């Protein structure tokens, strides 16, 4: 157990150094950094969270376990599902953008949200072509299409062909793996 704790401390130390070095590289003259609300990470311990970086993240699961809250980790990495009608966005009405709670990738606009009545947030299209990736899912004796974050590969939910026009798609997402930022 002591080795595991030492390893976690070592990984956190390396991540802090990485973050400090990348901040110096991105701000070599030490000018004040614009701290507007849209650019501040939702998870201060997660140096991989960015609402502007679209570079693919290929991190080992051990890193995700350290930087993500347990509730997000269980859905995003273990592919669990939150209970129907329990998530914070299943009946959302605000105008804004939904981001991946694991990495900050922009996923959906509120204009594509619809009341799907299935108990999870429903969207009929993604924000952009590469916002998400798809994977065949044969678990639980069903044939479904899993939706993964296009940047970090986090499990978001599933997509079905019974959604509204114009796409006919129903992206059935877990609220816990979404961050919502209202339009200003």
Annotated catalytic residues are 172
Token pair 């072509």 in the structure block, residue? 129
For residue 166, say if its preceding peptide bond is cis, omega within 30 degrees of 0: yes
Residue 61 · residue 39 · CB < 8 Å: no
Q: C-alpha angle with apex 36: 39 to 179, nearest 5 degrees? A: 45
CA distance 7 to 133: 32
Quick check: helix, strand or coil at residue 117? coil
Q: Which of 91, 41, 67, 83 is nearest to 154 (CA)?
A: 67
């Amino acid at each position: 157990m002591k080795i595991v704790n030492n390893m976690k401390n070592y990984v956190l130390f390396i991540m802090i150094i990485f973050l400090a070095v990348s901040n110096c590289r991105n701000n070599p003259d030490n000018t004040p950094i614009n701290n507007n609300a849209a650019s501040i990470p939702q998870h201060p311990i997660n140096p991989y969270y960015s609402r502007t970086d679209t570079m693919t993240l290929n991190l080992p699961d051990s890193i995700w376990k350290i930087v993500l809250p347990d509730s997000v980790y269980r859905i995003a990495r273990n592919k669990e599902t939150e209970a129907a009608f329990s998530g914070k966005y299943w009946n959302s009405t605000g105008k804004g953008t939904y981001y991946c709670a694991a990495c900050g990738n922009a996923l959906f606009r509120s204009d594509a949200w619809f009341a799907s009545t299935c108990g999870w947030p429903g969207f009929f299209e993604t924000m952009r072509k590469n916002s998400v990736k798809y994977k065949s899912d044969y678990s639980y004796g069903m044939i479904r299409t899993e939706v993964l974050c296009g940047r970090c590969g986090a499990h978001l939910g599933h997509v079905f062909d019974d959604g509204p026009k114009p796409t006919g798609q129903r992206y059935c997402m877990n609220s816990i793996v979404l961050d919502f930022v209202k339009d200003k």
